[in-house]
A and B are shown apart, each in its own frame.
Chain A
Amino acid sequence: MTAKTWAVFRKELLDTLRDGRSVFAIFVFPFLLYPAMLFFMSWMQTKNDEDARALQIRVGVVGQQAIPSVMEDLAKVQGVIPVTLAETPKNFEDAAVDAVLVIPNGILESIARGDSVRVELLYKESENASEAAAERLDPVLDDLRQALLVAWARGLGANAEGPPAFVVEAKDVSSKNEMGRYIAALLIPYLLIFMVAAGAMQTAVDATTGEKERSTLETILATSATRAELVLGKCLAVLTAALTGAFTGIIGLWFTFTVVAAAFPAMESSTLQLSIGPDKLVWLFLTLLPAAIFLSATLVAIGCFARSMREGQTYATYVYMAAVFLGLSSFAQATPPLSRYFIPILNTALLQREILTESVQALHAVAAIGVTSLAAAFMLIVAVRLFSNESVLFRT
């Protein structure tokens, strides 16, 4: 690094720190966005629960005469209105029902003979009310199944009031710490990528396309600094903004799930203990660095290529969306094959998940860091080449 590169770095960083939009995106955004998301999700959950409770569902029953008690049993379920139907309707809308229960004729006799029977529950997963109907009918159908079993057993001479209960009660016994670690392993790699891309975007476009648009480009091109010194200084400033964005993103996440969630009794269930040891933080930083350089150099290269701020921001948004998509893709990869560690950004997210869950595989680490470092070096060369190409810099 030369003194001229540092001069460009200092200037671009100063410029960024005096730009309200960049300061907002890097320092304020995480502390507003995450709590806002938490509040919104809690509110949505509460609202959905209330709406579901208030929902009145009409369930059509075909063949109710086969089990005389079924209409009464259905009527006892809160929010369910049973409706007698002569036959299975062609569509729910015409019959004004949300779901249909089809009971075959002679079901009791069939059970008594020991034959298998089939009761059909028709519903639409694509409609909320219909799906809710299926859920609400579950216990009624369980009771019906049990009653039929008792009838069958009695037919065989058993003296039974009901079969012995067999209840499965699923309980999440994860501690806050374990849940925090799980969420951290899932969310932090993605958020780091997301915040790096968001933090780099504004600075990269401003430092490159902004020079063209503000007509300041010629003044620096006519100085004795080389094109490489100028580009490296800009990349360094973009990288610093990106890593700062990632750091504030993590702090924002911790603030949301530990401080904000604990401060509101309604969100007590959302509190998590996000604790990452210093050793893991160092490893996260080291693995993030090549990906951040890659993203910064890519955005700087794009900024050099773009003719105007609008064009630059459009291209940068595509890069940002691609980075977010790759980061999000890591969610769905439970045991990714080695080939996934050759895809920049995705490989960083996957490797960071391994770091956070203490399951790092050496081959994965070498592939991820190696490939991303090569990609970062390549993009730096591309950025310098583009910045040295007058037909790109002065294209109209």
Chain B
Amino acid sequence: MIEVLGLRKTFHDRKKGEIPAVRDISFTCRPGEVFGLLGRNGAGKTTTLRMLATILTPTSGTAKVAGHDIRTHPAEVRRRIGYLSGDTKLYDRLTGRELLRYFGALAGMATPAIQARIEELQEPFGLGELLDKRVGRMSTGMKQRLSIARVVFHDPTILIFDEPTSGLDVMGARAVLSLIVNLKQKGRTVIFSTHIMTEAERICDEIAIIERGAILAQGPVASLRRDAGKETLEDVFVEVVGSVNHDG
């Protein structure tokens, strides 16, 4: 479970001064659910997810991830999460096997457990051809399969996906979304950010529309549509985000 309470992040810039990236957001993401953060580029999605992954420290507020406070017990949080960003890459000079071993070791797994997990994931992720091939020589699709295998390698209970389909073709994006649905069905807690409405509509149980670091609307997709009187999530998004920008 992820419980976010009044999370705020402000960056300091010498020239621009204080830049609020996330403003007092709160939400809850339960096991067996996919929670979607929907927003434009620069809306604050990545900063929020980086705080949940303990890569960034909140300016104020906090969150509990799998029962552990991200401010006071970041190591415990990291032990229980899998984090994938569409921007992150892999090490080109390592083979698939070396890469999985590396991240298994960083997750604190013992060598026999790592070997067993590689065997276990080989078929569902189609790793056979990837294990002894260097990442730099893999296709984009192969790299994506390996990235996903890396994220779930230590069997985390919380999955954080930051625009995981960015830069992927239709098949690659579909594979990622299938994985997310699969993880949800296994009872994992999944938080997922995107700016692609159809993706959010398809897999999210609950959505928060985020703009300028603040959550403007939140709830199940059907409820958001009903409340706004719109047929599609895209229409809801345009209206909610447009009204704020019009006002502001």
Contact = CB atoms under 8 A, between A and B. Distances in A.
Contacts of A224: 75, 78-79, 106-108
Contacts of A226: 75
Contact of A3 (B88, B90, B92, B105): B105
A226 B102 CA distance: 15
B57 A390 contact: yes
A286 interface: no
A394 B53 CA distance: 15
B8 to A, nearest CB: 15
A218 B106 contact: no
Interface in A97-129: none
B224 interface: no
Interface in B60-78: 75, 78
A221 B57 CA distance: 12
Contact of B102 (A7, A218, A390, A391): A7
Nearest to B150: A219
Given A220-B106, A223-B103, A11 B88 contact: no
A216 interface: yes
Contact of A223 (B87, B88, B98, B106): B106
A222 B93 contact: no
B57 A223 contact: no
Interface residues of B, number: 31
A90 interface: no
B55 A214 contact: no
Interface stretch (A12-20, A147-155, A273-281, A356-364): A12-20
- Of the listed residues A15, A216, A219, the one surrounded by the most CB atoms of chain B closer than 10 A to its CB is A219
Interface in A196-236: 214-216, 218-226
Interface residues on chain A, size class: 20 to 34
Contacts of B232: none
A223 B93 contact: no
A226 B78 CA distance: 10
Interface in B82-110: 83, 85, 87-94, 98, 102-103, 105-108
B144 interface: no
A342 B112 CA distance: 49
A391 B9 CA distance: 12
Given A7-B106, A8-B106, A221 B55 contact: yes
Contacts of B54: 222
B56 interface: yes
A136 interface: no
Nearest to B136: A18
Nearest to B99: A11
- Of the listed residues B54, B93, B106, the one surrounded by the most CB atoms of chain A closer than 10 A to its CB is B106
Contacts of A3: 105, 108
Interface string A152-186: 00000000000000000000000000000000000
Nearest to A16: B93
A144 B141 CA distance: 90
A223 B75 CA distance: 8
Interface in A1-49: 3-4, 6-8, 10-11, 14-15, 18-19
B56 A390 contact: yes
Contact of A391 (B12, B93, B106, B108): B12
A11 B50 CA distance: 24
Given A215-B89, A216-B89, A391-B12, A225 B106 contact: yes
Contacts of A394: 56
Contacts of A216: 88-91
A74 B187 CA distance: 104
B88 A219 contact: yes
B118 interface: no
Contacts of A214: 89, 91-92
A222 B53 contact: yes
Interface in B137-185: 150, 160
Contact of A218 (B75, B88, B93, B103): B88
B81 interface: yes
Contact of A390 (B55, B105, B108): B55
Contacts of A391: 11-12
A215 B163 CA distance: 14
A10 B81 CA distance: 24
A4 B83 contact: no
Task: Sort A-B residue pairs by CB-CB distance and give the 10 closest, nearest first.
Answer: A7-B105, A222-B83, A223-B106, A18-B93, A224-B79, A224-B78, A215-B89, A222-B53, A225-B106, A221-B55
15 contacts: A7-B102, A11-B94, A14-B93, A218-B83, A218-B85, A219-B83, A219-B90, A222-B55, A222-B78, A223-B78, A223-B103, A223-B106, A223-B107, A224-B106, A391-B11
Given A11-B94, A15-B91, A223-B106, 8 more contacts: A14-B98, A15-B94, A214-B92, A216-B90, A219-B83, A222-B78, A224-B79, A390-B55
